[in-house]
């Protein structure tokens, strides 16, 4: 039996965002339970969660990928996107946001606004999504409503609009006052969904009236006509107040904040009512931009009558159905014959039976409509971020951009003959998770898997073993040191002469070599005049130089950033040939290395580290101990962003160290910056650990 089809105006797409362990999945499970989708509150640690269904998530007791489910409340369909809060998996959250119309940001009441909370808030703001705050864990020790509101304003730069005030605190938290209806809503912290409505307790009446006045004034100030009416009568009808509230929420002019305890199913019914009555439907959001095949940017309407266009927000591998593609339909309806085109790859796809997800379970639907989030199995070429569209209007939606990887492991299969299976398995993983990538260690010639951190890579490797039956061993990649010339040297002779019974080999070249600024590579200059070396052999000289640059004489690492000028040479009409000039140039460059002296270079990475203010000194001291340099810092609320540069050799395993220093509250990103000299006192250490040995003279 197919699931019911909802029209766009009756759909709400809500992304649950927040720092790790703020209770996003617990809130999602409570919503499912309240709407009758499940018969008990699911828990990740007990393996009963609808959202955290992967074994790797149950092992870590936390989400590592976005998950989707839907409920029906008051004849409205609410699509729930549960996103990871760990920085290792944060960019999966950002991709999933392309399926959302509203961001529901969770804040742990005892912990306040944390690092990842600010990151997801800023991303939702960048994407111009309406935002609602939910203060979770109000029943815990140290849960202080007023302190959290002040923390939100300080750390996030926004004045939250309370639509509730708490009844009780910490373990005595038992309900809220609804400031719209001025009623007390109470519950028992036993997981049941029963809510009791009553009059406001007398001891809270003054606080409730002051909060109600602030609510009304804040909403009225977003509408000039309504504000004028309010100043004249000091009254606004409930209908006008809610309509203005909706408009201000959709425009991002107000940020309402609610509260509850997701793990005890408290505060869920008022939240659901607010999502249905005030959160935007897909038709309430502004038009969106697309790129045409001619690279023109045009605007498209969110309409059920427009040509079909959808964006893939998640891909995962199902053991029974194979590749499952989850997409958000931006406009139109799914075509009757299933014919669509992958606009970016310009390849045709055919949509089979469409489904709606409830975790790993799914139900068939007859048609996908504008604004809905639907799934389809076994697409051939389509991946996360891709656009599927009507073949007559092959437009492309802006994709999620991913940062450079921050950690890498060399991986080797443990089973004999598994090399080919390993490559296929990694490629399948990348289909699920675009933040993963593969490369090759240029020193060991082994496969490297790149990701956002140690936890990210370890979870991916566990998943590869479970899903694709390929186990691997891991190691850190070799640090890609380089060598360059210490000084300029001129008129160095490179000579190759070899005589056998027949024709011999003869080539002589004279080289000037000088170091260049970092990042310049090789600049080969030909200054031969008068035919000292025939023109056809000039490329042979350059080829010999490039071959010799693959290994320096100091530690065997590649040579970079030099200008080699060919100034003169000698030629024999019979014995001079291509190989002779290759070897002559190689020998000449080696002699130049010996005479000029070489120095080692190491890669440096720029870093941005976000840490709680109290850990700032420890982080700066740690950076200095790693031979890094602190370039500056900015403080925002309770967190400080430190900008620094560090040698790669010292930060290959930085993620667990930062977690230890900050108690898991610090985050960082890093990106290759350039090469710098290895300190003199470390050169011998690098040389002794080098995997290379110089081969001595070039082959005669």
pLDDT digits (tens, 9 = 90+) for 112-128: 998 889 989 999 999 99
pLDDT in tens, 331-389: 999 999 999 999 999 999 999 999 999 999 999 999 999 999 999 999 999 999 999 99
For residue 17, tell me if it sits in a domain. Answer: yes
Q: Are residues 493 and 563 in the same domain?
A: yes
pLDDT tens-digit series, residues 256-267: 999 999 999 999
565 and 611 housed in the same domain: no
Q: In this predicted structure, what is the pLDDT of residue 1?
A: 65
CATH number at residue 461: 3.30.70.870
- Look at residue 396 and tell me if it is in a domain: no
CATH number for the domain spanning 227: value is 3.40.50.300
411 and 463, same structural domain? yes
Q: Is residue 695 part of a domain?
A: no
Residue 401 in domain: no
Q: Which of 459, 462, 306 is nearest to 392 (CA)?
A: 306
Quote the pLDDT of residue 693. 62
How sure is the predictor about 190, in pLDDT bands with cuts at 50, 70 and 90? confident
Average pLDDT over residues 152-164: 93
pTM: 0.87
Residue 178 CB coordination number (10 Å): 21
Per-residue pLDDT, 691: 85
Average pLDDT over residues 413-421: 86
Do both 177 and 303 map to the same domain? no
Asked whether residue 40 carries a pLDDT value surpassing 50, the answer given is yes
Do residue 587 and residue 619 come from a single domain?
no
> Which class for 164: exposed (0-12), middle (13-18), buried (19 or more C-beta within 10 A)?
buried
Domain match, 562 and 641 both = no
**Token duo for residue 213:** 């006045």
Domain boundary among 254, 284, 314: 284
Mean pLDDT of the chain: 93
Is residue 500 scored above 80 in pLDDT?
A: no
- Computed on alpha carbons and rounded to an integer, the radius of gyration of the chain in Å comes to 32
Is 60 exceeded by the pLDDT of residue 700? Answer: no
The CATH number linked to 377 is 2.40.30.10
Does residue 698 lie within any of the structural domains?
Answer: no
Task: Find the domain containing 496 and state its range.
Answer: 482-599
Asked whether 315 and 301 are in contact (CB, 8 A), the reply is no
Evaluate whether residue 523 is within a structural domain. yes
Both 220 and 368 in one domain: the answer is no
Residue with tokens 């920085």: 87
Could you tell me if 121 and 268 lie in one domain?
yes
State whether 556 and 670 are in the same domain: no
Q: How many domains does the chain have?
A: 5
Classify residue 694: in a domain, yes or no: no
Q: 274-277: list long-range contacts, CB under 8 Å, 24+ apart.
A: 274/132, 274/163, 275/12, 275/14, 275/73, 275/78, 275/102, 275/104, 275/132, 276/12, 276/73, 276/74, 276/76, 276/78, 277/242, 277/246
Last residue of a domain, one of 570, 599, 628: 599
Q: Give the position of tokens 């703001």.
A: 125
Is the four-CA dihedral 382, 385, 390, 394 of positive or negative sign?
A: negative
490 in the same domain as 444? no
Q: Tell me whether residue 359 is in a domain.
A: yes
In a shared domain, residues 139 and 25: yes
501: pLDDT confidence band, cut at 50, 70 and 90?
A: low
How many Cα atoms are found within 13 Å in the side-chain-facing hemisphere of 320? 3
Element (H, E) at 376: strand 373-377
Q: Give me the half-sphere count of Cα atoms (radius 13 Å) on the Cβ side of residue 433.
A: 29
If asked whether residues 189 and 87 sit together in one domain, one would say yes
Q: CA-CA distance, 645 to 656, in Å (whole number)?
A: 18
């Amino acid at each position: 039996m197919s699931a019911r089809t909802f029209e766009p105006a009756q759909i709400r797409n809500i992304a649950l965002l927040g720092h790790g362990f703020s209770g996003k999945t617990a809130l999602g499970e409570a919503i499912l339970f309240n709407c009758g989708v499940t018969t008990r509150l699911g828990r990740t640690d007990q393996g009963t969660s609808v959202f955290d269904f992967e074994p790797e998530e149950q092992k870590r007791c936390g989400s590592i990928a976005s998950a989707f489910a839907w409920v029906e409340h008051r004849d409205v369909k609410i699509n729930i996107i549960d996103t990871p809060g760990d920085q290792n998996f944060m960019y999966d959250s950002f991709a999933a946001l392309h399926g959302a119309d509203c961001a529901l940001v969770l804040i742990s009441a005892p912990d306040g606004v944390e690092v990842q909370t600010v990151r997801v808030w800023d991303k939702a703001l960048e994407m111009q999504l309406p935002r609602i705050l939910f203060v979770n864990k109000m029943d815990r020790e140290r849960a202080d409503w007023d302190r959290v509101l002040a923390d939100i304003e300080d750390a996030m730069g926004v004045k939250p609009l309370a639509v509730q005030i708490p009844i009780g605190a910490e373990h005595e938290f038992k309900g809220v006052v609804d400031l719209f209806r001025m009623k007390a809503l109470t519950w028992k912290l036993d997981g049941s969904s029963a809510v009791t409505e009553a009059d406001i307790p007398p001891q809270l009446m003054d606080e409730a009236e002051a909060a109600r006045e602030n609510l009304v004034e804040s909403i009225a100030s977003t509408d000039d006509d309504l504000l004028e009416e309010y100043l004249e009568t000091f009254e606004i009808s409930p209908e006008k107040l809610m309509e203005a509230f909706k408009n201000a929420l959709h425009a991002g002019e107000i940020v309402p904040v609610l509260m509850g305890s997701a793990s005890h199913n408290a505060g869920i019914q008022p939240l659901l009512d607010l999502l249905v009555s005030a959160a935007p439907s897909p038709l309430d959001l502004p038009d969106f931009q697309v790129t045409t095949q001619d690279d023109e940017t045009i605007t498209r309407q969110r309409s059920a009558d427009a040509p079909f266009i959808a964006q893939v927000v998640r891909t995962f591998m199902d053991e029974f159905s194979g590749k499952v593609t989850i997409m958000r339909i931006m406009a139109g309806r799914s075509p009757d014959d299933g014919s669509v085109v992958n606009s970016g790859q310009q390849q045709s796809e055919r949509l089979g039976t469409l489904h709606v997800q409830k975790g790993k379970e799914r139900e068939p639907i007859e048609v996908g409509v504008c604004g809905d989030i639907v799934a389809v199995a076994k697409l051939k070429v389509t991946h996360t971020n891709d656009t599927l569209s009507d073949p007559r209007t092959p437009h492309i939606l802006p994709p999620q951009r991913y940062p450079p990887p921050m950690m890498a492991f060399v991986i080797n299969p443990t089973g004999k003959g598994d090399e080919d299976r390993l490559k296929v398995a990694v490629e399948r993983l990348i289909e699920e998770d675009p933040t993963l990538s593969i490369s090759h260690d240029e020193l060991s010639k082994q496969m490297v898997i790149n990701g956002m951190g140690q936890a990210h890579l370890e979870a991916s490797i566990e998943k590869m073993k479970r899903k694709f039956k390929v186990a691997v061993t891991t190691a850190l990649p070799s640090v890609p040191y380089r060598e360059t010339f210490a000084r300029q040297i001129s008129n160095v002779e490179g000579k190759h002469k070899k005589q056998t019974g027949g024709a011999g080999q003869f080539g002589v070249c004279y080289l000037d070599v000088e170091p260049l600024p970092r990042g310049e590579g090789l600049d080969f200059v030909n200054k031969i005049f008068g035919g000292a070396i025939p023109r056809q052999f000039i490329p042979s000289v350059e080829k010999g130089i490039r071959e010799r640059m693959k290994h320096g004489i100091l530690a065997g690492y590649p040579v970079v950033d030099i200008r080699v000028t060919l100034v003169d040479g000698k030629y024999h009409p019979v014995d001079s040939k291509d190989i002779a000039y290759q070897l002559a140039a190689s020998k000449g460059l080696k002699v130049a290395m010996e005479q000029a002296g070489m120095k080692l270079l190491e890669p440096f990475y720029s870093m941005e580290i976000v840490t709680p203010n109290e850990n700032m000194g420890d982080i700066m001291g740690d950076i200095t101990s790693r031979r890094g340099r602190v370039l500056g810092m900015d403080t925002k609320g309770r967190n400080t962003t430190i900008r620094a540069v560090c040698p790669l050799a010292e930060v290959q395993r930085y993620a667990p160290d930062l977690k230890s220093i900050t108690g898991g509250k610090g985050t960082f990103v890093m990106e290759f910056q350039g090469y710098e000299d290895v300190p003199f006192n470390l050169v011998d250490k690098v040389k002794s650990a080098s995997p290379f040995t110089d081969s001595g003279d070039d082959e005669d």
